[in-house]
Copies of this chain bind each other. A is one copy, B any other.
Amino acid sequence: MNDKNKQPGYEALLREAGVRITRPRKIILKILAERDDHPDAMAIFRRAVRLDDSISLSTVYRTMKLLEDKGAIQRHAFQGGPSRFEPADGDHHDHLIDLDTGKVIEFHSEKIERLQDEIAQSLGYEIVHHRMELYGRKK
């Protein structure tokens, strides 16, 4: 019934992992939970400052690295630009980036994944992770 605590969120899990839940981290987690895009560090910083203008950009960077290490978020380095982030909700997917708007569309193809495995296999490798991005424009 506590509507302030809508989601268990990552806080509990992070605390579990020995991570201190500080004010900046709370704010960044909140931003990540509410975002529906793929913001970069600067975008997250700007949103954070609106909630607490004492937050620093380095803390954003440090927190993103921490969350990445803990597996709470995923980092994407698209075409040239800065790293962009999204919560790692378990489900793997790839990205289609709209060249005109920068918008990111998520998709998943089990068939392609399987082919990738086959290829790596045949080259004597085991895939640790992969990256597949389609850059295109609406028609």
Residue numbers of A with Cβ under 8 A of B are 77, 79-80, 96, 98-99, 105, 107, 109, 111-112, 115-116, 119-120, 123-139
Task: Give the contacting residue for A136; candidates B105, B111, B125; CB below 8 A.
Answer: B125
Query: A43 to B111, alpha carbons, bound, how many Å?
Result: 38
In the complex the two chains form, is A109's CB within 8 Å of B120's CB?
A: no
What residues on B are CB-neighbors of A116 within 8 Å? 112, 132, 134
Task: Give the contacting residue for A139; candidates B79, B107, B115, B124; CB below 8 A.
Answer: B124
In the complex the two chains form, is A119's CB within 8 Å of B139's CB?
A: no
Given that A77-B79, A107-B119, A112-B116 are contacting pairs, would A135 and B126 also be in contact in the complex, using a CB cutoff of 8 Å?
no
Given that A77-B77, A80-B77 are contacting pairs, would A138 and B119 also be in contact in the complex, using a CB cutoff of 8 Å?
no
Query: A44 to B97, alpha carbons, bound, how many Å?
Result: 31
In the complex the two chains form, is B112's CB within 8 Å of A138's CB?
A: no
